[in-house]
Amino acid sequence: MTAGSRKKGAVAVIGAGSWGTTLARVLAGNGFPVQLWCLEAETAEQIRVERENRNFLPGVLLPATIEPVTALKEALQDKELLLLAVPSHVFRDIIQQMLPHLSLVKKGCLWISATKGIENDSLITMTGILRETLGEAYYPHVGALSGPSFAKEVARELPAAVALGAGTREAAQRVQKMFANSYFRVYTNPDLTGIELGGALKNVIALAAGISDGLGLGHNSRAALITRGLAEISRLGVKLGAKPATFFGLAGIGDLVLTCTGDLSRNRSVGLRLGKGEKLTDILSNVITVAEGVKTTRAAYQLALRERLEMPIITQVYGILYEKQNPRRAVRDLMTRDLKSEQEVA
């Protein structure tokens, strides 16, 4: 058997939401046998019988090489890649459930997070959770995937480009080759901290952009929010050890612009409804997908306090979500702060 014809190793995607299902489809299309772990048995059965995930990715045919499973133990068995695509607030719990079965994991298996969030209690990213729960020995094989990539468009095989960071250059290049194809381009970036923080914090700014649009404040306001939001993301990211250049790349400005302007953005959609006067509890009660920015806002606000950074947009979004701040009052507070030079920290 030649190197070119060698059978590709099996992979597992943990989480059958829209993004997890889409990435499973990318990997299956690239020739990998994929097990897709589903929390709900009915989702697994639907995919098995109908080859469609109607709840999270309706209208997209899933190839037979994607096998839905409901047992984490089965998903861990002898995999080359474990791609984690569960919501951030259950990420640690899912990893904890995996720990008794680590002996089943193939040596050198890659643990890649596709989750964009910050854990509220610990204020650490998803790879931080992996490093903490799995141990330092796993860190060279840990990484994160982020960038401007709506699941529905990637599932339609429309061109997209993302950034990938990992504990080592070799691990990043392995994952890059596994994902890359004619419509899904992957760039490596050694700044794992910046990739994850950019992917998480942009959701908070997208909430702000949605609120602005919901209030009918126009394109000028949205552009200002994106620009000053990037300044806040960069400020916090650099304080936490990220590289400034990362925030001017795919996982930074690229993902930020997409999430703040695209109609498929869940976080912008929540912001729109808040700006139009709906209550957060009512909005969240009738959606099945997760708007990560709602929980990330709390973590971002706490990080700003801990690091003693002035982050006015994030502070106002926190006030709207958790302190009953009136959105129009929040806009006025932002616009009437002390005047500054653009090069000042806030």
Residues 12/37, Cβ–Cβ less than 8 Å: yes
| Entry pTM | 0.95
Counted domains in the chain: 2
Does one domain contain both 229 and 165? no
Look at residues 142, 166, 190 and tell me which one is the last residue of a structural domain.
Answer: 190
**Residue 40 counted as domain residue:** yes
Range of the domain at 85: 6-190
Q: Are residues 242 and 220 located together in one domain of the fold?
A: yes
User: Which of 250, 253, 282, 284 is CA-nearest to residue 267?
Assistant: 284
Angstrom CA distances, 108 to 26, 167, 204, 324, stand at 22, 12, 35, 48
* Tokens matching residue 289: 């997908």
Whether residues 51 and 173 share a domain: the answer is yes
Token pair of 340 as six digits: 């500054």
150 and 256 together in one domain:
no
Per-residue pLDDT reduced to its tens digit, 95-121: 999 999 999 999 999 999 999 999 999
Q: Is residue 195 part of a domain?
A: no
Torsion sign (Cα): 7, 8, 9, 14 = negative
Q: Which two tokens stand for residue 237?
A: 């990211």
Q: Which pLDDT value is given to residue 8?
A: 81
Known catalytic residue: 7?
no
Residue 28 has pLDDT above 50, yes or no: yes
Is the pLDDT assigned to residue 4 strictly greater than 80?
no
The answer to whether residue 345 scores a pLDDT higher than 70 is no
pLDDT over threshold 90, residue 234: yes
Mark whether 204 and 256 lie in a shared domain: yes
Domain identity same for 181 and 307: no
178 and 303 part of one domain: no
**Residue 227 belongs to some domain of the structure:** yes
> Which of 190, 213, 244 marks a domain boundary?
190
Please provide residue 224's backbone torsions phi and psi, each rounded to the nearest 5 degrees. -65, -40
Q: Is 48 exposed, middle or buried (0-12, 13-18, 19+ CB in 10 A)?
A: middle
Answer yes or no: is 342 within a domain. Answer: no
Q: What is the mean pLDDT of residues 44-67?
A: 97
- For residue 209, the model assigns a pLDDT of 98
Catalytic residue among 7, 202, 239, 243: 202
Q: In this structure, are 51 and 139 located in the same domain?
A: yes
Mean pLDDT for the chain overall: 95
Residue 289: which pLDDT band, with cuts at 50, 70 and 90? confident
Kindly report the CATH number assigned to the domain that includes residue 219.
Answer: 1.10.1040.10
Within-domain flag for 135: yes
Q: Say if 346 falls within a structural domain.
A: no
pLDDT average, residue stretch 278-291 = 87
- Judge if 80 and 154 occupy the same domain: yes
The stretch 318-324 carries a mean pLDDT of 97
Can you give the pLDDT at residue 5?
A: 34
pLDDT at 9 over 90: no
User: Per-residue pLDDT averaged across 168-177, rounded?
Assistant: 97
**Same domain, yes or no: 143 and 25:** yes
Final residue of a domain: which of 168, 190, 212? 190
At 287 the pLDDT is: 75
For residues 165 and 255, state if they share a domain. no
> Is 122 a domain residue?
yes
> 277 with 310, same domain?
yes
Query: What number is the average pLDDT over the span 115-128?
Result: 97
Q: What is the pLDDT of residue 7?
A: 57
In a domain, 124, yes or no: yes
Per-residue confidence (pLDDT) for residue 346, from 0 to 100:
59
Q: Which of 136, 132, 197 is nearest to 163 (CA)?
A: 197
CATH code of the domain in which 94 resides: 3.40.50.720
Spatial distance between the Cα atoms of 62 and 53, rounded to a whole number of angstroms: 8
pLDDT, position 182: 98
